[in-house]
C-alpha cells in the first residue's frame, strides 16, 4: 500500500558559496495546501506570517520598554541637570512651582519610573526625592 505523499513546492538554497545560484526543491513532506500549492510546516505561508507577527510583537514590546526607560532617563536629566543629590533634596515647593519645567519633569519621573526595574541607586533615590518634592508642592 503506497501512500501518495506530496513534496513541498518551495525551492530552497543552501548556505554554501554557490547555493544562491542553485536552488533545489525542499525535501520535506507537504502537509498543507494553499492556493493550489503544497507546503511543509516550515514553508507554510500562514505559519511564516504567524511567526513573523509573534517576533514583531516581542520586538515592539522590548522596544517600548526600552523607550520608556529612555524617556525616564531624559526626564531625570532634565529635572536634575546640574544638581547633585544633596542639592536635589533641598528642592522646595516654591522652587518647583516657580520652575514649571522642573515640576513637569518631576511628574514625568514619577509616572514613568517602573520602580521594580530601576537598578541604579542614584535613579531610585532621584525618583523617591521627586515623589516627596511633588507631594510637598501639591500640598501647599
Q: Which long-range contacts (CB under 8 A, 24 or more apart) does 93-97 make?
A: 93/133, 93/136, 93/137, 93/139, 93/140, 96/133, 96/134, 96/136, 96/137, 97/137
pLDDT of residue 108: 66
pLDDT of residue 54: 96
pLDDT of residue 118: 56
pLDDT of residue 122: 59
pTM of the model: 0.47
pLDDT-flagged residues of the chain (< 50):
1-2
pLDDT of residue 15: 83
Domains of the chain: which residue ranges?
11-43, 63-139
pLDDT of residue 34: 92
Amino acid at each position: 500500500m503506497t501512500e501518495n505523499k506530496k513534496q513541498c513546492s518551495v525551492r530552497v538554497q543552501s548556505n554554501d558559496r554557490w547555493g544562491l545560484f542553485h536552488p533545489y526543491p525542499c525535501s520535506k513532506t507537504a502537509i498543507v495546501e494553499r492556493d493550489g500549492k503544497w507546503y511543509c510546516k516550515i514553508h507554510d505561508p500562514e505559519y511564516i506570517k504567524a511567526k513573523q507577527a509573534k517576533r514583531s510583537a516581542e520586538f515592539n514590546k522590548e522596544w517600548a520598554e526600552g523607550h520608556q526607560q529612555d524617556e525616564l532617563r531624559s526626564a531625570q536629566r532634565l529635572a536634575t541637570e546640574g544638581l547633585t543629590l544633596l542639592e536635589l533634596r533641598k528642592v522646595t515647593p516654591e522652587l518647583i512651582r516657580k520652575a514649571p519645567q522642573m515640576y513637569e519633569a518631576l511628574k514625568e519621573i514619577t509616572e514613568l519610573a517602573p520602580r521594580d526595574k530601576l537598578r541604579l541607586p542614584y535613579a531610585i533615590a532621584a525618583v523617591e526625592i521627586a515623589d516627596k518634592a511633588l507631594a510637598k508642592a501639591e500640598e501647599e
